[in-house]
Structure 1
Amino acid sequence: MTQPPPDLPGLRFERLLGSGGYSDVYLYRQQLPSRQVAVKVLRDSGLAEAQRAQFTAEANAMAGLADHPNIVPVFSAAVSADGRPFIVMMFYSRPNLAVRAASERLGVAEVLRIGIQIASAVETAHRAGILHRDIKPANLLINQFGTPGLADFGIAGQIAAIEDDPDMGVSVPWAAPEVLYATSPTSVRSDVYSLAATLWHLLVGRSPFEERNGDNSPFALMRRVRDNAPPSTGRQDVPGSLDRLLRQAMAKDPAARPPSAIDFARGLQAVEQELQLPRTEIVVTTEAGDAPTPGEGPQLWQSAPATVARPASFSPQGSAPPAVNPPPPPTTARPAAYAVQGGAPTRYAPSSAPGAARTEADGRARRGPLVLVAGGVLLVGVLAVVIGFAVTGGSGKPKPIATVSNGVDTQDAGQLGENLPPGRPTVTGTRASAGVLVFRWTYSAALPSDTFEWREVGTSRRGVVTEPLLRLSDPGGSHCVQVRVVRIDGSNASATFSPKGCVP
């Protein structure tokens, strides 16, 4: 529930701008210098320490990137007299791009320009060691001059952090499948996916896997994100090269996507050249390409951008893009920490080569996201991280496994009604090969939509899988796993975990 705005020294309240899962954003008038500012305030002064730390991390992340022309600047951060932390930011007066996309289809040229500018911001954040993790149209703000700014680093995290924030929220329609299902760690390529999904939304007016007049509940969207191929925009004025780039950037396998935000931006530049549009410059920090150790400042980068190694599944086209004379560089001065990327952009095309094989995760414990959904927070049974991966049939969609447990054929369970509770799983484990543990389980009254929460006994490894099969990295020794069934509505259908299934 929205709380009254706090009394803040030097600021006069004007109106509420919006509300999120745990904070409200207000418009204030700053007295000196006189200007309007946006103030983000934690809704409850009694929030958990983890949420306060997350809020502090947002202030620090945005302040550290404030010089970038496409990142919303932070002016200050403090705690109000009633104990609520707040951040004072630049006020962007025009409607955000989610509002605008709901009423009009943006032109191709404008979407390309916005995409390159926001990709520049994302690349800069990545080079500072920060993942955004919630890129979406509502977080793209527009100032009075029409310049976009990336906002809401509220769930941003350090790339080099050892553990993810267990209370991290994600916005389902634009999140990568590995983020929703924790099949691999969140990475730079996860942000690339979200940026591509956001640009697709701006072109079409809805998120990529949303269906008109269909079931667009979080669970339905999650399954389509996981199972369905990225769709075409269907717009006649969108060139095939842009459609291909967006679909490749939304590939299920992170290894098949552009390896960085700057590579994605160069692909967008290539489309601009193809359409003979003025080239939008890529503006990135001049620090080294590798993410610095958290706490270290940016390191100046004097040479040309380093070439980024690409996997075999992501290959430049053999032909060079058509020559277009680029416009002269603008005369406006930029902070010394930023540089315009020169040189011809690289063109990319989807490859028919299979993506790189997904490797076993390193065994580091990760717990899963809360799923942020339009106007509120929905707690979803997506506990990150599945250190193995879900096994599917040849179609890429989950296939129910026919087993018999307690005398009930699980393939016929649906005929008995979806309200029939599942039997308690029986778990067995084997050591499949050096370094790989495999656990399987059977249970009665199974439904094809069931998912499974698992935990390893005696460790912090846990997660969710979509098939009754789990692969884990094997550090040696004895390992035991317990499982419980989760129905599609998010309920834990089996109230308690199964007996242990062990590998000696």
Structure 2
Amino acid sequence: MVQRRPSVPPVLPGFTHIRLLGTGGFADVFLYEQNMPRRQVAVKVMLADVVTDSVRRMFQAEANLMAQLSSHPGILTVYQASISADGRPYLVMELCGAHLADRFRRETIPVTEVLRIGVQIGSAIETAHRQGVLHRDIKPSNILTTAFGHPVLSDFGIAASLGAAPSVGDTVGMSVPWSAPEVLLDETTGTIGSEVWALGATLYTLLAGRSPFEQPGGQNGTRELIARITRSRLPALDRQDAPASLEAVLRRAMSRDPGRRQQTALELVRDLQRVEAELGLAPTHADIALDDWARAIAGDPADRTVVRAVSPRTPTGRGPRRRRRSPVDTEATVSAGTLGTEARAARHEGHRSRVIAAVLVVVALAVVGLGATATWWAVTGEDGSLPRVTDVEAEVAGEEVTFRWQDPGIAAGDTYRVSVDGQPPAVQRATEFAVVAEPGQQVCVTVRVAREGRTGPASAEKCAMTGGN
């Protein structure tokens, strides 16, 4: 295959060219050093021979979209955009390391890392969707790694607004191995459902070391891949260390029927967090915009926190039943920097506490990002001026206990800190909290209101016993 020569790097005021980083169909990416503030950056420069009015508009749209979204920790940061002296548009971006496409074929990526990537990138995709933006090209090579090891989604160059009908003559780019059947069959240019497919296909790729419908040693041209994606059953995931539940999550995400998939990126994120809980891992923090997130959970009973607890505090005096653990090393590869502060604390305490808690639906942890970056133990003493929760009630349904209470009059920005059997609290805005425990086990919770690093008086401890023997 003949490759084109890279373009000449433009002279950019305030920047010094260092070297070429990569080439693409429409642009080259160069390493520059910014003079003030001094730092190395990646500069994406459009090719002169492809710059038309249409391409210029597309590039401007990408710059605007990236600027709007790049405050999200899972989306590549754009510092500025402009046009060089020779007329080529360019973007100045955060410098990131090798993308995942450089890794999955040469090494086995741990299941725990793939789960973490799925939650973090899924949160970025959900954020884009809430802003009305489809990415439309989710794949391993568009996931980069920051200097701190965090995955970020890049290249919104063919992004589109949700619900916008394509104009006559619009060109829709796609990467066949990770595209949904309905996109390949020209039934749509992209939907939330097709983005769920693409994320599922990307995670499958990271686990399998190949794209989902690629046949090692077989014919893997565009025509063959499209035929398999649109007609064939998803091949089994050949990973002994991957739980069956994870394969089921990906199989659902890649259903040929969009109605059978997770209906949002957030729903897929929750499924991945449940797999983390099953493996005994503290759930990866899901970064979702607080205001939308808080409003969403306030009125939706399905968005409550559910905690699985195993405690020796049982009326029979018997010790807790042990859950079967996966052969995966649950301590190995989850970076502490990716976990919510309460999750890290719970994991640390878990070695010696009476309750081993694993969040199954981590709505509470998702709102840790509302500015409460201080860890739970850093909250200062009790503040009697804050509202007190006084009416906690418990409802038992088999092995699940749901605790509910009335809003005592919290202010915007306030949160509830819910502690199970005295353990490090979960943080949430919802007035509902569920615990899944062993049959016949007693579970107790207390609830406090927190505001700007202060906590109010605790509610009376409310206890309930699960059903069963």
Given the two structures, how large is their TM-score scaled by the length of structure 2? 0.64
Say which of 179, 184, 195 aligns to 1:180: 184
RMSD, aligned CA: 3.1
Is there any run of 5+ residues in structure 2 with no aligned partner, and where?
311-341, 346-364, 374-411, 416-425, 437-469
Query: Does the C-alpha gap of structure 1 residues 244 and 166 become closer, same or farther in structure 2, counting only changes over 3 Å?
Result: same
Report how far residue 163 of structure 1 moved. Answer: 2.1
Say which of 13, 16, 40 aligns to 1:36: 40
Partners in 2 of 1:38 and 1:238 — Cα distance? 36
8 Å contact from structure 1 (residues 172, 180) kept in 2: yes
Residue 90 of structure 2 is matched in structure 1 by 86
Q: Does 2:297 correspond to 1:304? A: yes
Say which of 118, 124, 143 aligns to 2:127: 124
Query: Does the C-alpha gap of structure 1 residues 240 and 213 become closer, same or farther in structure 2, counting only changes over 3 Å?
Result: same
Q: Does 2:65 correspond to 1:57? A: no
Deviations 1:115-143 (A, max 9, x none): 00000000000000000010111111011
**Identity score, percent:** 44
Q: Does 2:290 correspond to 1:286? A: yes
Say which of 216, 221, 229 aligns to 2:220: 216
Deviations 1:319-356 (A, max 9, x none): x884489444679958999x999588999xxxxxxxxx
Partners in 1 of 2:250 and 2:261 — Cα distance? 9
8 Å contact from structure 1 (residues 45, 83) kept in 2: no
Residue 194 of structure 1 is matched in structure 2 by 198
Query: Does the C-alpha gap of structure 1 residues 323 and 54 become closer, same or farther in structure 2, counting only changes over 3 Å?
Result: farther
Deviations 1:302-322 (A, max 9, x none): 46266599xxxxxxxxxx884
Q: Provide the aligned length of Structure 1 versus Structure 2.
A: 325
Indicate the SS of the match to 1:54. Answer: helix
Map 1:410-425 onto structure 2 (within 5 A): none
Deviations 1:173-203 (A, max 9, x none): 1011111112245211111110010011111
- Please identify, of 323-332 and 57-66, the stretch whose mean Cα deviation from structure 2 is larger: 323-332
Q: Does 2:12 correspond to 1:19? A: no
Indicate the SS of the match to 2:29. Answer: strand
Indicate the SS of the match to 2:297. Answer: coil
Indicate the SS of the match to 2:246. Answer: helix
Partners in 2 of 1:285 and 1:14 — Cα distance? 37
Deviations 1:336-390 (A, max 9, x none): 99x999588999xxxxxxxxxxxxxxxxxxxxxxxxxxxxxxxxxxxxxxxxxxx
Given the two structures, how large is their TM-score scaled by the length of structure 1? 0.60
Query: Does the C-alpha gap of structure 1 residues 287 and 322 become closer, same or farther in structure 2, counting only changes over 3 Å?
Result: closer
8 Å contact from structure 1 (residues 45, 82) kept in 2: no
8 Å contact from structure 2 (residues 78, 91) kept in 1: yes
Residue 174 of structure 2 is matched in structure 1 by 170
Query: Does the C-alpha gap of structure 1 residues 129 and 305 become closer, same or farther in structure 2, counting only changes over 3 Å?
Result: farther
Letter in 2 for 1:200: Y
Partners in 1 of 2:90 and 2:427 — Cα distance? 35
Q: Does 2:245 correspond to 1:241? A: yes
Say which of 89, 104, 107 aligns to 2:107: 104
8 Å contact from structure 2 (residues 172, 189) kept in 1: no
Partners in 2 of 1:46 and 1:184 — Cα distance? 26
Question: Runs (4+) of structure 1 moved beyond 3 Å?
Answer: 286-289, 305-309, 320-337, 339-347
Query: Does the C-alpha gap of structure 1 residues 279 and 44 become closer, same or farther in structure 2, counting only changes over 3 Å?
Result: same
Deviations 1:224-266 (A, max 9, x none): 1101112221111000000010011011111110000000000
Partners in 1 of 2:184 and 2:435 — Cα distance? 30
Partners in 2 of 1:306 and 1:18 — Cα distance? 48
Letter in 2 for 1:199: L
Is there any run of 5+ residues in structure 1 with no aligned partner, and where?
290-300, 310-319, 348-504
Indicate the SS of the match to 1:169. Answer: coil
Letter in 1 for 2:199: L
